[in-house]
Amino acid sequence: MFYETTNTTKDGKEYWVSSTLTPIWDENDKLKKLVVIDTDIAERKKTEKALRESENKYRTLLNQIADPIFIFEKNSHHFLDCNDAVFRIYGYTREEFSSITPLDLHPTEERAEVKKQLDVKNTDEPKTYVHVTKDGWRMDVEIFSNEIEYQGRAAWPPSHVCARMARKLRW
């Protein structure tokens, strides 16, 4: 059996431990003794807290950006993450967005060309495309992209710099 809890030192200071309990049985299958091994996990808990705080800061910052930002997985092209502006501007729910790819944001007539460019690093000059929202509204976007590692996977975070034009027209 395994569990994590806080213990208290003799001077009243709390600290985290991971406890492993191992039963020792006698020849009649009766519990003879219980061996308990406690491991101090205070540093791990401190690291986990710092990670949660960092993730919260990242999410807060990402969602404060008014332009739509999303990250898609390099091989499958499925979206891994995005900010709230994506939902406001494109009109999809989070669930709907998780089941589409960047190609689905382009008009049918542009998809073949976009597919050729989908995995091309583009950090110097933006590429101009047309995106189509869920309700069919078309908007021009300029996209810079660069490969990154995100959640342990190779990914592309395209960044829309012309979404301001879309916001002015739509909001």
- 4 pLDDT above the threshold of 50: yes
Q: Please give the pLDDT value at position 15.
A: 92
User: Which residue range(s) make up the domain with 17?
Assistant: 1-64
The pLDDT tens digits of the residues spanning 26-48 come to 999 999 999 999 999 999 999 99
Side chain identity at residue 130, one-letter code: V
Contacts of residue 156, defined as CB under 8 A and 6 or more positions apart, other chains included, come to 71, 72, 74, 118, 119, 145, 146, 147, 148
Contacts of residue 95, defined as CB under 8 A and 6 or more positions apart, other chains included, come to none
Distance CA 25, CA 125 (A): 71
Q: Are residues 86 and 48 in the same domain?
A: no
Please check whether residue 92 is in contact with residue 134, taking contact to mean a CB–CB distance below 8 angstroms: yes
Q: Are residues 97 and 35 in the same domain?
A: no
Q: Are residues 17 and 57 in the same domain?
A: yes
Distance CA 88, CA 67 (A): 10
- Residue 89 per-residue DSSP state: H
Q: Please give the pLDDT value at position 10.
A: 93
The pLDDT tens digits of the residues spanning 45-66 come to 999 999 999 999 989 988 998 8
Distance CA 163, CA 85 (A): 10
Q: What is the pTM for the complete model shown?
A: 0.67
- Arithmetic mean of pLDDT over the chain: 86
Q: Please give the pLDDT value at position 171.
A: 43
Q: Are residues 81 and 21 in the same domain?
A: no
Domain boundary among 64, 82, 109: 64
CATH number of the domain that 104 lies in?
Answer: 3.30.450.20
Domain boundary among 44, 64, 84: 64
Q: Are residues 79 and 101 in the same domain?
A: yes
